[in-house]
Structure 1
């Protein structure tokens, strides 16, 4: 089986940056299968990148190398890092993008072995000069120990966690997708754990109160908002055949409150 390397960045597709990274990888690991997870992370949005890593990484075969380059601190004091956990490899900046895969089982290494980097490392493009070659060498069978030294203090983010006061779950919008659907930090397990009838709720945001959740987008009236449990097993607010973020004037961080419908 060919080694799999995924790429997640905030580079977009108008510039040659992603293609250059692929060229670097293929020069070292010509048999690698390259998968574009997404290159539409909002610029410098580390939390969004961390959520993509959390939800997507385990759908790939064990041994996959996940490269994430959302790196507002490139060229500064933040460390380049490599991680191994549960059979997966992760390569990118040590700025919190790998929060969801850093636990007691994770092996974390600062990447310092310059012989595995490209020559003349740029201070503005570590995706090309450090992360791509390291990912390629990992795909070729190198171990993390070859690239640097073990660290015990990788950077992690403070996840925005929902709160429950005995009656109301208070959360927030944490992700807006291409369709304008609003993923919240309220997961289905929490709803089932605290509400007697999680299939019948009231969801409040942006001065609107919505009933739900529905079982499919098609159950909402055309041109109307709705609530659903999405593929991330999280509470999502959508607008049937429209953009919920635009229609409701909602953005990441907007508060969401959930109560049991009367």
Structure 2
């Protein structure tokens, strides 16, 4: 059975998502469609990349992932490298289809990939600009899955559009990260990974500070319930990314860590380390 995932910003109120599913079912037999998310923030390719990156390792080989966020066709005949066309990324023997609008660079960051193709040989007319998902992405997906005319539509290349990916800033004994996602529970997902955090060592005292300085955390827990109910907690989630939460505080009244700590997407998370012999430790002696 062919698995196809959908990631988009359509929501479910309108008919757009159903229309895409109907097209896929019409042309691809024995297929299972999985919605990664239909509620990506409008035009936010960074969040779309985050969603797919967070779960792609849980899917089997040959899964095809379709991202429709930021789908806009643009042809620049004078500077072709600035054109926005559909692309196909082969990554760990899975495939991701999206417009080449910076999404692929946000997804990959510094990770290696198998192959990348740009769809610069597809037929384009006025409807391609009006309905780029239905007229460009879906036909490309169908040709890939059915192995029909795919190589005629695309050209293999190593070039794709680059978009700035916000990475943690590392200074002397300090990591400055930021909140990149808030999940349905109000938990704060940062851009600080486990490897970056532990580059300072395994037993180095530290303090995690937020926008409101009265809130801080000075230890990493393995689970949410290692702290008492209502207390803030820092863990590394299943993707080895630092997550800030408040134990048992995720409901409609409290809004979880986001509301209780007054933190939104883009806010700074600052981690200060105090190695032995540092100025911070020396000052504590006096």
Q: TM-score, normalised by structure 1?
A: 0.88
Deviations 1:68-107 (A, max 9, x none): 0111x62434212122233111111111222234866443
Q: Is residue 50–residue 96 contact of structure 1 (8 Å, CA) maintained in 2? A: no
Deviations 1:124-172 (A, max 9, x none): 4322222123212212224742322234421132221112223111111
Which stretches in structure 2 are left out of the alignment for 5+ residues?
76-83, 251-255, 275-280, 282-286
RMSD after superposition: 2.4
* Greater relative contact order, per chain length (Cα 8 Å cut-off, separation 6+): 1
Post-superposition shift, 1:48? Answer: 0.9
SS of aligned partner of 2:129: coil
- The match for 1:111 is 119
Whether 1:22 and 2:21 are equivalent positions in the alignment is yes
Distance 1:85 1:227 in 2: 30
- The match for 1:201 is 206
The structure with the largest strand share of the pair is 1
Distance 2:150 2:165 in 1: 27
Which stretches in structure 1 are left out of the alignment for 5+ residues?
none
- The match for 2:267 is 254
Distance 1:168 1:109 in 2: 40
Distance 2:230 2:272 in 1: 24
Q: Is residue 122–residue 154 contact of structure 2 (8 Å, CA) maintained in 1? A: no
- The match for 2:187 is 181
Whether 1:93 and 2:106 are equivalent positions in the alignment is no
Deviations 1:181-235 (A, max 9, x none): 111111111222213426x631101222122212211123322322111122111
Q: Is residue 173–residue 251 contact of structure 1 (8 Å, CA) maintained in 2? A: yes
